[in-house]
Structure 1
Amino acid sequence: MGRRRAFDADEVLDVALSVFWKKGFDGTSYADLVEATGVERPSLYAAFGNKEALFRRVLDRYYDHYMDYFPKALAAPTAREVAVAILRGSIELNTRFPDHPGCLNLNGALVGADDSACLRRIQVEARDAGEAEIRARFARAKAEGDLPPDADPAVLAAFITALIHGFAVQAKVGVGRETLEAAAEQAMAGWPKGSGAAP
């Protein structure tokens, strides 16, 4: 009876991440993952499960290793600084790798099948979780006077979320970092100021 070839799970996840990032969820087959990782299908399946389970593991790794700017941004002193840091971090990540620009999660939506319920569920969960964190941070900013009384944390969070998703799509189709940064600056021109906001 042959022995299974040992492999490093983290290395396999990094390779799978790169494949998913380039091809999207639906565009990536298990055969693609086997070929890229060099791990036989039974071993890959035993270690990570089906494609959805593997994609979820990859997405967790993506958030841990590539989206570390997000929790740092939420810790910024003011709501405006939070928003700017999120936008800048998103733009930097979306344009960092010329061979697979854009966002790992959203790239799947751009090339995925319309009836891919699995992918839609994963994307909605990720979007909702991130937007909820932004909304909670802006609610705290409003309570502290950093945002004016008429500011709506939910609307502002939706605004920032829409911007970073839009930047990811634009980066995917070749829009450069300078253009996206200029768009972010324009978007922030009308940011509301509270009585306690820094100048």
Structure 2
Amino acid sequence: MGYGGRPRKFERDGALETAMLLFWEHGFEQTGIDDLAKAMRISTSSLYSTFGDKRQLFLEALDLYRSGRGGYTKTTLEVGGSALDSFRRLFETAARELTRGDQPRGCMLTLSLPTFSQGLEELQVEVSRRRAESLDGFRKRLARAKREKDLPPFVDVNLLASFLMTTLMGMSLQARSGASRSHLLKIGELALQAWPGARP
């Protein structure tokens, strides 16, 4: 697809952005080297010499996503307010970002997790590690809330973080399947009704 346009001449950052969008749309295995080189408007030899192999390019593209278009997960949780407010903002932001019309739908990291076949175990480990880092960010935000008595002392921070991450990943899969922004907002709202101490 034509997301992001094509640089007129080789420029590394722009080429990487193009690769990111292609991987995001089609996944690692369905995106061929020739497809990447054509979209990035470089030769395959330039691709290899600049980015290494396809796996290295994919991981660099994934990190670009996490620091850019997908970085809202981290930055939203760093905003002040209660932990409940933080995760409500996160789900609202996710509903908007996951359904934007100017980029592939869904979260690139979430969509990458289940897509690797046998022989790509090392790549799966790297992607899973990045997902674990995101989950750790949830845990840290909830642990801080517990220290600040913003959460009851009986709350299992690990379990709540996993529940919230599962909700966010589910929203991503729903978005890729065509769910509307309003539908994703309702999913987030429903999930937060299970927040410890929240009113039904």
TM-score by length of 2: 0.87
CA distance in 1, matches of 2:185, 2:75: 19
Q: Does 1:183 align with 2:193?
A: no
Judge which range, 68-77 or 143-152, deviates more: 68-77
Partner of 2:19: 16
Q: Give the aligned partner of residue 166 of structure 2.
A: 162
Letter in structure 2 aligned against 1:149:
P
Q: Which has the higher contact order (CA 8 A, sep 6+)?
A: 1
- The 1-side partners of 2:177 and 2:89 are apart by 23
How far is the alpha carbon of 1:134 from its aligned partner? 0.9
Corresponding position of 1:100: 104
Partner of 2:125: 121
Distance 1:155 1:128 in 2: 14
Report if the CA contact (8 A) 1:87-1:160 is conserved.
no
Count of aligned pairs: 190
Secondary structure of the 1:190 match is coil
Structure of greater Rg: 1
Percentage of pairs with the same residue? 31
**CA offsets per residue over residues 49-91 of structure 1, 9 Å max, x none?**
1111111111111112112322322223211012112222222
Cα distance per residue 1:98-154 (max 9 Å; x no partner):
762111123234554365324421321111101111101101100110000111111
Kindly tell me: are residues 172 and 139 of structure 1, through their superposed partners in 2, closer, same or farther at Cα, counting changes over 3 Å?
same
- Counterpart residue type for residue 28 of structure 2: F
Q: Which runs of 5+ in 2 are unaligned?
A: 1-7
Q: Give the TM-score taking structure 1 as reference length.
A: 0.87
Q: Deviations over 1:24-59 (max 9, x none)?
A: 011111111011111001111111111111111111
**Paired residues of 2:9 and 2:41 also in contact (CA < 8 A):** no
CA RMSD, Structure 1 to Structure 2 (Å): 2.0
Deviates more, 1:105-114 or 1:164-173: 105-114
Counterpart of 1:80 in structure 2: which amino acid?
L
